[in-house]
Amino acid sequence: MLRLLARSALRAARLSRMLASGAVPSVGKVGIFARPVLPAARLSRTLASGAAPPKDMVAMLDTRGPSHVSRAEPLHEMGVVYAPGQPSPQECIDAIPVIPVEGHLAICDGGGGALGHPIEYIQLNTRHHDPATCKYCGLRFVSVGGGHGH
């Protein structure tokens, strides 16, 4: 325990020396108590000083979002890289057909067991045949009638 406290004190002292000297890197975390300096903040400080922004910063801010990436290129979402032929989880859910339910109430547990999700009771729209979606897993349900709604 004493060794852990001494290590934390050394890290804090090293961090305070780095902050005082201005030797803190502009992107990423330094030490255990530092907050990252975001690239947008670095760019705004650069523009406020009147200097031209660095080329690497301009290239980093000129990236396309996932909706603009063609499926011929790898898709990078939330730290996961999907191969060009491999569908994303949302594409897999969209491939599942709408589930017909008798009545006006659908019950979804995501497959049940430890791999499912909390039970969700979904009120189905009886006037329109638009599918209702489970908020946890994305499965879609539609009423085919036959229920005794009041």
| pLDDT, tens digit, 9 for 90 and up, residues 20-68 | 655 544 444 444 444 444 445 554 555 556 666 566 555 555 455 555 4
Average pLDDT over residues 56-84: 61
Of 146, 142, 139, 145, which Cα lies nearest the Cα of 109?
139
- Dig out the tokens for 9 from the structure: 């004190």
Q: Which amino acid is at 44?
A: S
Dist CA 102 CA 108 (whole Å): 14
**Element of type H or E holding 132:** strand 132-133
Separation in Å, CA 123 to CA 33, 51, 98, 106, 136:
48, 58, 15, 7, 15
Name all domains of the chain by residue range, CATH numbers in brackets.
8-64 (no CATH), 91-143 (2.60.260.40)
